[in-house]
Amino acid sequence: MDTGSSSEVAKMLFSTQPAINRLISDLEYNTSLQFFIRKPNRLEPTPEVQALYSELERAFIGLEEIRGAAEIIAN
């Protein structure tokens, strides 16, 4: 979502572009959603994946809040 490129994501995650493309394809298959419109050297997010990304961001924020609360309790 942030890079628009599976090769850039692969670099960030110390992986390969084919592995990233396979993960995206598997996730699309398992959710019955198309996440990206494939263009030459570019992935364009669909409205469906933008909505899902917003939900995922909220979930990660919630996890960070839980982690912070656990640290406070531990201290």
What pTM, to 2 d.p., does this model score?
A: 0.71
* 32 φψ region: left (φ > 0), alpha (ψ -120 to 50), beta (else): left
* Mean pLDDT score of the chain: 92
Give the pLDDT mean for 49-73.
Answer: 91
Range 1-10, long-range pairs (CB < 8 A, 24+ positions): 1/45, 1/49, 1/50, 1/53, 4/42, 4/43, 4/44, 4/45, 5/41, 5/42, 5/43, 6/43
Q: What six digits make up the tokens of 52?
A: 């899902």
Residue 2 pLDDT: 84
Residue 11 pLDDT: 95
Q: Which CATH class is domain 6-74?
A: mainly alpha
pLDDT band at 41 (very low <50, low <70, confident <90, very high): confident
